[in-house]
Structure 1
Amino acid sequence: MTTESSASPADTEPSLLVHDEGGVRTMTLNRPAARNSVNLDLAERIDAAITELDERRDLTVGVLTANGTTFSAGMDLKAFLRGERPKTEGRGFAGLVERPAAKPLIAAVNGPAVAGGFEIVLACDMVVASEDAFFALPEVKRGLVAAGGGLLRLPGRLPYHLAMELALTGRTLSAVEAHRLGLVNRIVPAGEVMRAAAELAAEIAACGPLAVAATKRIIQESPSWPADEAFDRQTEVAAPVRSSADAIEGARAFTEKRPPVWTGA
């Protein structure tokens, strides 16, 4: 999860900008002079923002994007040499990769996402990318291992042999190729990433928040469930949603031909 990126001078603005609107939390990496490399301050801010996203009933989905021309160059090596480790207790590198948000998270990739930056993207549930973006895990070129979740997640997102090639050579994967392979949901011209990500987030935020969170949980966890227990385990997750006030509201709104008013309860 490291690259050769340099850190920026002392930041004069918060390293993470947070904006909430319409059930969507937008979190913007804000260290463009350092290619949005991750130091401890940024990791802690991401952790706090995701924790609050999961806790608040009025928020359904998150978007993670970045200012500048690079999504993220990975770990801030200057901070690392000062003794910093950009990890948080429980969530790991970038305050995210070991325990991502319980609610859906969209990566809006406006430029290169390499090393830890790619691992941040892989920790998200959906990806919107600009046509000129690219992805890479170059750690092996430095004699290192991509230990921020990249090696754990990449084989589940790409064909095995391609995932192995990318991990063993450190070569770049263009956004166009990533889209063709299904790693990227939507690819758009440069400058259109946030518009497209906001549209996708709004589609999700229009749905019942309890149902959205439960649906993500089932999709994520079910591959490890024993086949003979899968439906019982699914019921454990889905039953509280079915008996919720939001489920009643959704049915009532449908019969009354009006938009539902969700409360997250």
Structure 2
Amino acid sequence: MSTTETVESLLVEEHEKGVVVLTINRPSARNAVDLITAQAISRTLDALDDDPDCRVIVLTGAQGFFSAGMDLKAFRATGERPIDAKRGPFGLVHMPPETPIIAAVEGAAVGGGFEIALSCDLVVAAEDAVFGLPEVKRGLTAAGGGLLRLPSRIPYHLAMEAALTGRALSALWCSEAGLINRVVESGQALGAALALAQEIGANGPLAVKASKKVIVESANWTAAEVFDRQETIVDPVRRSSDAQEGAAAFAEKRAPNWTGR
């Protein structure tokens, strides 16, 4: 697996089965994201999307805290905002990676931190994790995708309640609303996310990326075009060497040997 340029505030660690863990490493700032970190996240996601050996990305925060979102101290001091020119706020919310990405949440994921988690495809959270969009309590609006993504993930009235009250949301509340894939004991979010990532990583990489692409993009397709547009994405997978390998492995009762071709 290839490596990419990193900075001290973003740790990159490779795991088995093509899983890469990105850790926001600014614990003294509650893992708030500054511009340098946002740009590092964006560059790293570019590199991992281009890396055929990377199957799944796990995003987490250092020392038991996911992320407080934007670095307000940097904003107050210089007006700096953590907006990458390509991928937008926090280096991913405008353009999440093509590679499946899992948020492993310990502690708080509030404001922009919640918006980062909402940009991920799956969320694993510790039972004492806290989520929320508290911007309205400060006379602001959540402009990093939270108001856009939340209504498509949970029922309208629950999204309105979360956005208009700005209250802290427990992991249990988020789980019952359908925002979280797994709720685990405190300190176990990364381990559970890695287990989920390895389960995904064991599958055909072309099929996994194509499945994500269909789910993400079909939200904007009309009823008349959905199957034709789906076909343009899934047909190359059907014709791939990996599809032949999957069928052969099934018939021979063995684990498949994926090549990504």
TM-score scaled by length of structure 1: 0.93
- Cα deviation for residue 236 of structure 1 reads 0.3
Q: Distance between the aligned counterparts of 1:185 and 1:163, measured in 2?
A: 18
Match of 1:127 among 105, 123, 129: 123
1:225-264: CA deviation from partner (whole Å, max 9, x where unpaired): 1111111111000011111111111111111211111111
**Hey, what does 2:98 align to over in structure 1?**
102
| Maintained 8 Å contact 2:64/2:187 | no
Q: CA deviation at 1:223?
A: 2.1
Verify the 8 A CA contact 1:58 1:263 in the aligned structure 2.
no
- Range with greater deviation from structure 2 (68-77 or 232-241): 68-77
Q: Deviations over 1:51-70 (max 9, x none)?
A: 11211111111100111232
**Could you tell me how far apart the structure 1 residues matched to 2:45 and 2:151 are?**
25
Please say if 1:27 is aligned against 2:16. no
Letter in 2 for 1:43: A
Question: Residue 159 of structure 1: CA displacement?
Answer: 1.1
Match of 2:161 in 1: 165
Residue matched to 2:182: 186
Q: How far apart are the structure 2 equivalents of 1:228 and 1:98?
A: 27
Alignment-derived partner of residue 174 in structure 1: 170
- Decide which moves more: 61-70 or 144-153: 61-70
* Matched ranges for 1:47-86 at <5 A: 47-81=42-76, 82-86=78-82
CA distance in 2, matches of 1:223, 1:84: 33
Alignment check: 8 A CA contact 1:60 1:205 kept: yes
Q: Aligned equivalents of 2:235 and 2:22: distance in 1?
A: 31
SS at the partner of 1:227? coil
CA distance in 1, matches of 2:53, 2:160: 40
Distance 1:52 1:24 in 2: 14
Which amino acid in structure 2 is aligned with residue 72 of structure 1?
S
Q: What are structure 2's unaligned runs of at least 5 residues? A: 1-6
Residue 148 of structure 2 corresponds to which residue in structure 1? 152
Q: Which runs of 5+ in 1 are unaligned?
A: 1-12
Q: Is the 8 A contact 2:56 2:101 kept in 1?
A: yes
The structural deviation recorded for 1:83 is 2.9
Query: More deviation in 91-100 or 244-253?
Result: 244-253
CA–CA distance in structure 2, aligned partners of residues 119 and 58 of structure 1: 28
- Structure 2 length-normalised TM: 0.95
- Per-residue Cα deviation, 1:109-128 (whole angstroms, up to 9, x for no partner): 01110000000000001000
